[in-house]
Amino acid sequence: MSHMTRHLTLEVLLAVLEQGQSLDKALAMYLPKLEDVREQRLLQALSYGVLRRLPFLKALLKPLLKKPLKAKDQDMYYLLCLGVYQHLETRIPAHAATATTVEVARLRKKAWATGLINAILRNFVRQKDSLLAEAEKQDSARFAHPPWWLKQTQKDWAEHWQQLLDGNNEHPPLSLRVNALQTDRDSYLAALEQAEIAAKASAYSPDGIVLDKPVDVLRLPDFAQGAVAVQDSSTQFAAQLLKPQVGERVLDACAAPGGKTAHLLAQAKIDLLALDISEQRLAQVEENCQRLQCECQTQVGDASTDTWWDGKPFDAILADVPCSASGVVRRHPDIKYRRRINDIAQFAEQQGQILENLWQMLKPGGRLLYSTCSIFAAENQQQIQQFLAKQADAELVSLDVNWGIDTDFGRQILPGESLELDGFFYSLLHKQG
């Protein structure tokens, strides 16, 4: 386990925390620089771990740093966070965790910091118990979320906020959706057993499978042939709730990367249009559909305008709208630091525009499923409440399901409700007429 792995981990952290890059993009950039698969795994584990626990790590460091480091030396601050994380959460021996962290400062031509880092990490080990006890008293540190996020969650979910925030810090399982166009769940579970991959049927989705441990997708039987897709159980509810019927004209607005698109196409033989504002991301929809051997039309367009629409109404619409992604933080811990409180109102405004625009494209008697991977009320139940108050021909359809909380305007899955489920909101609307 070399100091080069720590150095590249620090580069990932700086890309996310200083440059605002997504963790996925940063990892894609730095993982290939390591040839050893074990070192790649370590880089990934350390990056995710530090980002999951960052507010807690900062609280532990605060009493140890006599004065804040200069702006140009923020890399050394995040290096200290990485060092503390290794001591706290990994089985790396204490001397190795300290030595490799100190080496990174030298590698970054900041020899002046080596003594400081060495002293602080040694002090951390000595004072660990008292530092942990003090940090646990601060909610933002204890739950490892920025203060604004903590306050907003307490406001929106007074009874559930602790479970929700703890849920955000869990390690999510790898969930699959069996492609019903090719196989069924029992057959695929048998194939997994034969491949010595431990898995069980989803407790929520009839097409879902949850692996005991994540594996490389190329190890999954017939993955390349499209027998199965990687898809969280929560996202599998979209196609099940919209229930496309044979021959219907269906719109999947904001369709990329295409997991829900392919699931809709596996439910029934339909005429489906996959819409997305990004041509590049729409190419992912096409690739996914190609692998899963299902066909749809694709269209580049903005779901909040009608410039792309041919004027023919749809029988059913899936509006999986852009959102804060606050419900999938356990998969993308960088979201906690890339979001600001003002983003929620901006997303809510955009969502309202999309909802009103798509409603005009829905046939009388048709249905629209609104969904987000957010936990914030402004993007979810409040959005639907406002829409129903304005739209006389819209009525809420009651959802008879075994998951989520009834918000009176849709079902909210909160992180921590089940290890199997990401945070999601669903509301099904019927157009009268």
Residues with catalytic function? 373
Q: What is the CA radius of gyration of the chain?
A: 24
**Nearest-angstrom CA–CA distance, 158 and 131:** 29
Burial class (CB in 10 A: 0-12, 13-18, 19+), 342: exposed
Query: How many C-beta atoms surround the C-beta of residue 209 within 10 A?
Result: 23
Burial class (CB in 10 A: 0-12, 13-18, 19+), 63: middle
Is it true that the peptide bond before 257 is cis, omega within 30 degrees of 0? yes
Q: What angle do the packed helices 259-267 and 233-242 form, to 10 degrees?
A: 40
**Nearest-angstrom CA–CA distance, 254 and 417:** 27
**Nearest-angstrom CA–CA distance, 285 and 295:** 10
**Nearest of 379, 375, 369, 378 to residue 401 by alpha carbon:** 369
Alpha carbon distances (Å) from 215 to 23, 33, 219, 234: 20, 21, 7, 20
**Nearest of 93, 96, 64, 67 to residue 81 by alpha carbon:** 64
Q: What residue type is assigned to position 35 of the chain?
A: E
**Nearest-angstrom CA–CA distance, 244 and 272:** 10
Q: What residue type is assigned to position 14 of the chain?
A: L
Residues 399, 326, 296, 237: is their CA dihedral positive or negative?
negative
Alpha carbon distances (Å) from 405 to 160, 170, 389, 409: 11, 20, 22, 10
Bridge partners, residue 320, by sequence: 371
